[in-house]
Amino acid sequence: MSTGLLLQYIVVALIVLISAWVVLKKQFPGTVRKARGAIALGLIKPQRATWLQALGRRIAPPATGSGGACGGCDSCGPTQPKQH
């Protein structure tokens, strides 16, 4: 296999992975949040290397002050009435 073809396959695979991640974040935000939390908890254990702990802290989902009902983006508060 030529180097150009291999590079093309790698680029296409990266594009597919990125687009799948975007769809997951938009359609299943609670699942993505739980998965990120589980991965981060596995990485930040004290016996892990410091670079793995740093990666775990970076992967961890941001803390939220209130627990949304769906575990999603927490933007489902009361809506403002429409002005006529």
- Please report the DSSP string for 16-74 in residue order: HHHHHHHHHHHH-HHHHHHHHHHHHHHH--TTS-HHHHHHHHHHSPPP-SS--SSSS-S
pLDDT at 38: 94
What is the reported pLDDT for 61?
Answer: 87
In a domain, 20, yes or no: no
Cβ–Cβ under 8 Å, residues 61 and 69: no
Residue 76 located in a structural domain: no
- pLDDT value of position 22: 94
Does residue 23 lie within any of the structural domains?
no
Q: Which domain holds residue 50?
A: 28-61
Phi, then psi, of 56 in degrees rounded to 5:
-65, -40
User: pLDDT 10s digit of each residue in the chain, 84 long?
Assistant: 799 999 999 999 999 999 999 999 999 999 999 999 999 999 999 999 999 999 999 999 888 665 555 655 556 666 666 776
25 φ, ψ (degrees, to nearest 5): -65, -35
- The confidence score (pLDDT) of residue 29 equals 92
Is residue 36 in some structural domain? Answer: yes
Evaluate whether residue 35 is within a structural domain.
Answer: yes
pLDDT at residue 63 in the model: 81
39 inside domain = yes
Question: In total, how many domains does the chain have?
Answer: 1
Kindly state whether residue 2 falls inside one of the protein's structural domains. Answer: no
